[in-house]
Each structure stands twice: as structure tokens, then as C-alpha cells.
Amino acid sequence: MLAVVSMALVSCGGGNNDKQETPEVAQKIETPAAEPVVEEAPIVEEPSVHHFMGKVAGSDVHMSMYVDGSSVLGRYYYDSQRKKGNKSSMMFFGEKDDDSLELTEFYTDHPTGQFEGDWNDGVYKGTFTRAKDGKTFDFELTEAEGGEAFFADDELAFEIPDFEVDMDVDLDDIDIDFSGAGSADWDKILDEYEQYVNKYYSFAEKASKGNASAMTDALSMAEKATSLAEKLDRADDNLSTAQMNRLLKIQNKMAEAAMKMAGAASKVEDMMNDLENMDVEDLLKNMPEIPGF
């Protein structure tokens, strides 16, 4: 009996030829809600202190820097001086721009040197220029852990001196009433004059070896150096014996530089005369051979 009923059900289902319509089902696609955009706050680096060990001009130093954003303050000392009992240190300030770091070394109220280099992966490396004579020296410092050998944080908090950072002395700015200058004033004047003459001498020496750009620089400096020398000559009565002796040494060096410049100018003049007197055919004959042509 169960088998018959089962067959009947199958037969009814299979015999229906009418097309059955499938009811449409509305599909609701839910779009996920957009997540709120959270703006990331700019990363602000906290002030930090960094210690370095290495060499400046071939001598061992210890240096500490206080870095606040792009501003940098710091001190350093030469190890050899500390071993002799000299506790003094050099101070500096500067700006950090990405990897580039430029520092001005100073003493009281005037710059004494300039560090220029890159600070990458814990190494600060570049060139140091000495202000008094323009000489340059390589330096390389490696970041190290702080300790007794370095400077404490409170030693790095000092006021930046109020002077323009310019490694070239501008003699137009030296406008002093020479008649009323005291001994300390004269020492400062002589410091500035000596610094200027040293730089002039350096340019003159390079010019005497054929450096055309150095000759241009030296000629532009000569007039100012001469004008200051004339002012100093008129102030002889106000100088102490030691200051007078120092002035004479500076002026002697200026005279040596002038002789070097005269020699360099003579060489240039002779060369120009040779070129002027040489016709095109002779000029071509004296041209050096160029490999490959």
C-alpha cells in the first residue's frame, strides 16, 4: 500500500507540464558604511641630546649636541687638551636640514670656525673651516653612548650670540673711533685685521700658482685691507708696544701677499701679451694634441 501511494506522488509530480514561475526575490545589497578618515597627527620629535666621538683635523674630540627640531646647540673639546688639564670647550650652534648639518663654532661674540657636513646613520662627516685663515680640515664623528666624558644637558643650554654668521670679515663694518679706543678694543681690531689679511694672503698664494678665481677674490679684498691699514697707521700713538709689534707683523704679511699678487698679475699679463702677439697659425701649432682626434 505504501508503495502505491509513493508511485502516485511521483507520477503527479512528473506529469505536470505547466511552467511554474519562480517568484522573484529582491536582493538587497548592503554597502558597508565608510570608515571615518582619521588624520594622522604630524610626528613631532622631542628635543634630544646626542654624543659623538671622532676626529677633527686629525685630533680626537668629544662632542655633545642638543637637537630641538632643526635647531642645534652644543660643545666639544679636544682630548689632548683635557689630558693637559685644560677644561675649556668650544661652543657651537646651527641648523639641521634633513641629513645636512651646518654648525658655527664661536668664542664670546665672534665666529671661530664652521662645520659643514652630513649626519647619516649615526655618523657626522664633513669639512671644518677655520675662521682666522680660511684653512679647511676633514672631520668624522660617530655617535656614542653618553657618559662622564661628555657634557651634561644643562651645559648645552646657552644663549646664541647676537652676531651675523659670516666667515668673511667685512672691513666696511669696522667703523671705530680710533682716537678713543682702549687696549681691549685694539686687540679686537687687530684680531679682525689679522683674520682678513690671512684670508687675503691665502688667496694671493693660490693666485700666484695660476688660480684665476683666487686672483679675482684677492683683488676684491685688497682695497679694503689697504684702507684699514691706512686707518691703523694714523692710530700708532694709541697702541701699546706689544700691539704695535703685532700690527707690524700683520702688515709685513700683507706686504708679502701684495708681492705674490704682483707676481701673479705679471704672469697673467705676459700670458695675455703672448696670446695677443701670436697669430692664428702659430696658436694652432702650439695647441696640445687631443687623443682620438
What is the chain's mean pLDDT, rounded? 75
- For residue 276, what pLDDT is reported? 58
Percent of the chain with pLDDT over 70: 64
Q: Which amino acid is at 227?
A: S
- For residue 4, what pLDDT is reported? 41
- The DSSP string of 70-127 is TEEEEEEEEHHHHHTT----EEEEEEEETTEEEEEEEETTEEEEEEEEEEETTEEEEE
Tell me the pLDDT band of 79, cut-offs 50, 70 and 90.
very high
The larger pLDDT score, comparing residue 197 to residue 182, is at: 197
**Does the pLDDT of residue 254 top 50, yes or no?**
yes
How far, in Å, CA of 53 to CA of 138, rounded?
Answer: 14
How far, in Å, CA of 10 to CA of 14, rounded?
Answer: 6
Tell me the pLDDT band of 11, cut-offs 50, 70 and 90.
very low
- For residue 228, what pLDDT is reported? 72
The larger pLDDT score, comparing residue 247 to residue 215, is at: 247
- Residue pLDDT, tens place only, 183-208: 667 887 788 788 888 888 888 888 78
Q: Tell me the whole-structure pTM to 2 decimals.
A: 0.46
